[in-house]
Structure 1
Amino acid sequence: MILGLLTALALVGPSHALIRFGCSQLVVDRLDPLVEPGIAPSAHLHQIIGGNSFVPDMRPETMDPAKLSTCTTCQPADDFSNYWTAPIYFKARNGTYKRVPQKPNSGFEGSNGGMTVYYMQAQLADVAQKPKVKAFPPGFRMIIGSPIADTRPQADKYPQLTYTCLQTMGTRFPETKNFPKKPCPAGIMVNLRFKTCWDGVNLDSPDHMSHLSYPESGTFENQGPCPASHPVRVPQVMFEVIYETKDFNDPAIWPEDGSQPFVYSFGDGTGYANHGDYLFGWKDDSLQKIMDEECFVNCTSMKTQSIEQMNACSTTRKVNEDIGDDEWITALPGQAHTEHAIREPKGLWASLL
């Protein structure tokens, strides 16, 4: 859908719409500095991109990725933010697991997995930007989605978290709220779009979400107004994570009852628990300059680095365990005692459902 949108917007003419860039993998580790700061290992595994200062504890009073990182896995050279999601596993008929690798999106071939990131000023080319978006300030962080959502109504509280079953790398629709129920020839794309109205005061909130809101009517894409409680319009951050399922697409290895075999690293097999984390780390006012520029995808004010430089940036794993990259594992990392052994503060997540 996004590629089709990009093509359509390009045909319309000059656009003030968005930037889109690739990020290579930084590390796959059982850390979560937002929900479980300072804890290693955290409840479940994440795949992380961005600045290499990523550590278990990243509280804003002590941690500024833009100042502490020495490299970034993202294409914009000034973006030391961190972005992370839970990886997906294939569950075999015998109950063992193997991690499904990420692969680069179209246009970023050669990068080491990771994901594609968007910052949208306005998604429609023929809509004037009124008002322009305000870039996030240093210390800003947010989460979207919930790892304990397991029903469609719970997932619908986050309307722009979806999946695309890729027939080709250009497939962008339909989007579903649950994991695809049939093999996807070109992989599974997980789509995450964050809220876009900020209260203008708090860099974070106890649930990492309530300092943000959806528009009070309409959508960000058609510039629906922000509510009075959250009056500041910020960019819509979007992740696209593409999982390479080619080694797992044979129906003969799928469950005999016809159900789909993919699960998140914390055990959810519905897909309704799709969620992602964001920790701002752009250098100085570099993001605001890009957001103020009337540009589309390729912005002159955005300094970029090569894919080779992106791939060269990494950090070592802090938790030493077998995560199922090479060999099949008998339990998901951190989930040895029960299928859904989420150790996170359940009260936090339950309050959001």
Structure 2
Amino acid sequence: MPRRSKGLSATLITGALLLASVGAGGVAHGAGVPAPHGAAAQAPAATRSGHATAASVTTSPEDPDGDGYIPVVPAVTGVTPSTQDPPHRYFHEFQANCSVTRTATDDPIVYPQQPGRSHDHTFLGNTTTDAYSTTASLEAGATGCKAPGDLSAYWMPTLYNGDQRILPVGPQVIYYKAGVTDYTSVRPFPKGLRFIVGSPMQSADEFRHHPGFVEGWECGDSYFNTEFPATCPDRADVQLNIRFQAPSCWDGRYLDTPDHRSHMAYPVVKPGTNDNVCPADHPVALPMIEFKMAFPVNGDMSKVRLASGPGHTFHYDFFNAWDDPTLKALVDHCIVGGLQCDARGYDQTHPEAGAALDENYELP
């Protein structure tokens, strides 16, 4: 996506209005909801009491001119989407097991430097994530993930049952997988990459047919739900679950763009094959993140909702702050190596391959 002139971006940003309704539990994320793929610029607007106001340029230490573009230096050039078909491996993944660290009405991607502007979010991973988070601040923080090297921030709209927050308990499963057929072409995330998966403004139909949709909301024997099931089995072993996958092809140019999406894309099917490849304008294959969240709620689900609204408004955010050598070791060993790894980078079915990290989840 070509970079627009700063003058044009500023005009679009300052002159735009976004109408959004206030979701139960907080101010609507829709106020600064990323525009559809390819839209010109983010147009954050205040939406308290449901009223939209004229947007203004938002600056941050990483985007001082407030145009929404954060270039990567140096840019990754000369990459052609791989169409190779390596030896078949059923798995090429590892887990990042991360616990909830806090909830807050902050969003450092959509509303940087604006605490309290968002609807309520549940944060996992980095323990310092707030409205003021930058790559540098996350790198200086601590983590709720098993691997100390995973200082990344992950967040999603908070789930409520009535007025009670329902937070995932214990380490949650965040998969890092190959989204393309040539798993050997996957490389680590660039430091500071950030993006949003899904949208709080998507319709139920858009949610159901989103390329990241895996199984929707599920509990007990109920699967592929766009909205929360009316009831779930009232048993201790039953929780509400969702799985949702992120785009994994990068343009190689920007760590963020005004809509927080356009620098990323989902793989496409190569014509005449069943192979997944990156599109030509997003040629760099990165790990595909998959959220697999479990919420301890069951029984009567009639009052269950998200801070962003109904079940179909589910979305999540990712801000990469991994220690570079640790992430590279896991990507190379587990994804490129065609293994099914835990958070140590160990595949129980292939013990001969060893682990990428030691018993403390650190590089040996």
Alignment of 1:196-275 (within 5 A): 196-217=248-269, 223-246=275-298, 249-250=299-300, 260-266=302-308, 268-269=309-310, 271-275=311-315
- Residue 37 of structure 2 corresponds to none
> How far apart are 1:291 and its partner, in Å?
1.0
> How far apart are 1:261 and its partner, in Å?
2.6
> How far apart are 1:25 and its partner, in Å?
1.5
Q: 1:178 & 1:115 partners in 2: Cα distance?
A: 21
Q: Within the alignment, does 1:291 sit opposite 2:331 as a pair?
A: yes
Alignment of 1:116-135 (within 5 A): 116-121=173-178, 129-135=182-188
Q: Is the 8 A contact 1:226 1:233 kept in 2?
A: yes
> How far apart are 1:15 and its partner, in Å?
5.9
How many correspondences in the alignment?
254
> How far apart are 1:276 and its partner, in Å?
0.1
Q: 1:122 & 1:144 partners in 2: Cα distance?
A: 15
Alignment of 1:48-197 (within 5 A): 48-60=123-135, 63-66=136-139, 68-69=140-141, 71-91=142-162, 97-103=163-169, 111=170, 115-121=172-178, 129-153=182-206, 156-160=209-213, 162-167=215-220, 174-185=223-234, 186-197=238-249
Which amino acid is 2:304 matched to? F
Q: 1:54 & 1:216 partners in 2: Cα distance?
A: 33
Which amino acid is 1:102 matched to? P
Q: 1:43 & 1:202 partners in 2: Cα distance?
A: 24
1:290-339 Cα shifts (integer Å, max 9, x gaps):
11112321321135648xxxxxxxxxxxxxxxxxxxxxxxxxxxxxxxxx
Q: Is the 8 A contact 1:18 1:119 kept in 2?
A: yes
1:135-156 Cα shifts (integer Å, max 9, x gaps):
1111111111111223313652
> How far apart are 1:208 and its partner, in Å?
0.8
**Would the alpha carbon gap of residues 262 and 16 (structure 1) be closer, same or farther in structure 2, given more than 3 Å must change?**
closer
- 5+ unaligned residues in a row in structure 1: which ranges? 1-12, 92-96, 104-110, 255-259, 307-353
User: How high is the TM-score relative to the length of structure 2?
Assistant: 0.63
> How far apart are 1:39 and its partner, in Å?
1.2
1:30-55 Cα shifts (integer Å, max 9, x gaps):
11111111111122111111122323
Other structure's SS at 2:123 match = strand
Q: 2:251 & 2:241 partners in 1: Cα distance?
A: 31
Q: Is the 8 A contact 2:154 2:317 kept in 1?
A: yes
> How far apart are 1:192 and its partner, in Å?
2.0
Other structure's SS at 1:285 match = helix
Q: Is the 8 A contact 2:93 2:175 kept in 1?
A: yes
Q: Is the 8 A contact 1:82 1:278 kept in 2?
A: yes
- Residue 57 of structure 2 corresponds to none
> How far apart are 1:14 and its partner, in Å?
7.2
> How far apart are 1:274 and its partner, in Å?
0.8
Q: Is the 8 A contact 1:121 1:291 kept in 2?
A: no
- Residue 317 of structure 2 corresponds to 277
Other structure's SS at 1:47 match = strand
> How far apart are 1:180 and its partner, in Å?
2.0
Other structure's SS at 1:290 match = helix
1:234-262 Cα shifts (integer Å, max 9, x gaps):
1110111111114xx14xxx6xxxxx331
* RMSD of aligned Cα (Å): 2.7
> How far apart are 1:184 and its partner, in Å?
4.3
Q: 1:121 & 1:158 partners in 2: Cα distance?
A: 15
1:118-165 Cα shifts (integer Å, max 9, x gaps):
101369xxx7x4542111111111111111223313652444265342
Q: Is the 8 A contact 1:76 1:303 kept in 2?
A: no
**Would the alpha carbon gap of residues 55 and 99 (structure 1) be closer, same or farther in structure 2, given more than 3 Å must change?**
closer
Q: Is the 8 A contact 1:38 1:57 kept in 2?
A: yes
Q: 1:142 & 1:226 partners in 2: Cα distance?
A: 17
Q: Is the 8 A contact 2:179 2:267 kept in 1?
A: no
1:2-35 Cα shifts (integer Å, max 9, x gaps):
xxxxxxxxxxx97651112421221111111111
Other structure's SS at 1:102 match = coil
Identity of aligned residues (%): 24
- Residue 46 of structure 1 corresponds to 121
Q: Is the 8 A contact 1:89 1:262 kept in 2?
A: yes
**Would the alpha carbon gap of residues 27 and 162 (structure 1) be closer, same or farther in structure 2, given more than 3 Å must change?**
same
Which amino acid is 1:145 matched to? G
Which amino acid is 2:284 matched to? V
- Residue 101 of structure 2 corresponds to 26
Q: Is the 8 A contact 1:162 1:178 kept in 2?
A: no
- 5+ unaligned residues in a row in structure 2: which ranges? 1-87, 346-354
**Would the alpha carbon gap of residues 289 and 57 (structure 1) be closer, same or farther in structure 2, given more than 3 Å must change?**
same
Q: Does 1 or 2 have the higher relative contact order (CA < 8 Å, sep 6+)?
A: 1
